[in-house]
Amino acid sequence: ISHPHADHHLGLLRLLSERAAICGSDDPIVLMAPHDMFDFLAEYRSVVPEINQSYIPVDCCDMIHGRVNPLGEKLYEELGITYCASIPVAHCQRSYAVVIDGTSFGRVAYSGDCRPSNRFADVAHGADLLIHEATFENGMEEDAVMKRHSTIGEAIDVASKMNAKSLVLTHFSQRYPKLPPLNESKDEEKANEIPIAFAFDFMRLAPNTIDLAAKLTPALRLLYPGEGDDESEMATGKVTAKELMAVPGVFAAKGVL
């Protein structure tokens, strides 16, 4: 679990309770998450005691790149991997990206939710697969800064700095009823250098299908044509992110963040 926002972890409760009902407490899973999650689960156990002892907690803070965590070996054993490290990133408090070696893809890097991170690019350099959030389309950089997310172009820049061999973009804003565009020439150029695929619900990828997933993007655009961007038509009097960013001291203003 990359960070404690509800859209990234609420499914965990159902997973643990259903798994406990099937497997009991003899086969706990290794759960790597920020410590906020373990406080949350501790409270939830009073409502659903079945999840007690259903997981082995591994704090992301203890798995930060450069640190040695004895439970890391348990994680490696359970997942059949050779290395796993978290990297603090800029989003909410205790947000992390992760780098995993020894998967069927090779080195996999996942950004979680964040602003672009040079440290993440350095630690995960040479990744065989980068999965990076791209909440906003290009041209909405101010919104991305305000909400601590990334644009498509920024995600592609991270892939370039990382020298990633393939890129899957994910976590698109609900403002898009269609796939957001690669609407800058440099993005298109990068798409010609490495496979760039757009994630969608229930998507499954294998090492030999990433190229195919990237080539299917034009077909997916036809399935989700969309009818424009409702949020682009700002209500009268509504302040845009770009206007807010131009105000000195805006981040100290109540209600902005």
Nearest one of 74, 44, 43, 45 to 57, comparing CA atoms: 74
User: What pLDDT shows up at residue 233?
Assistant: 39
User: What pLDDT shows up at residue 229?
Assistant: 44
Q: Is the dihedral of CA 234, 249, 256, 93 positive or negative?
A: positive
- The three-class DSSP label of residue 109 is strand
CA 161 vs CA 17, 51, 173, 181, 215: distances in Å: 41, 41, 24, 21, 23
User: What pLDDT shows up at residue 114?
Assistant: 96
Residue type at 183 in one-letter notation: N
User: What pLDDT shows up at residue 256?
Assistant: 42
Express each pLDDT in 9-22 by its tens digit. Answer: 888 988 998 988 88
Distance of CA 228 to the CA centre of its chain: 26
Residue with token string 């993007």: 217
User: What pLDDT shows up at residue 231?
Assistant: 44
- Residue 38 sits at φ, ψ, to 5 deg, of -75, -30
Split the chain (257 residues) into runs of 10 and give each run's mean pLDDT: 87 89 84 92 86 90 90 85 95 95 97 96 98 91 92 94 96 68 62 85 91 86 59 47 57 47
- The three-class DSSP label of residue 67 is coil
User: What pLDDT shows up at residue 70?
Assistant: 82
Asked if 107 contacts 18 with a C-beta cutoff of 8 angstroms, the reply is no
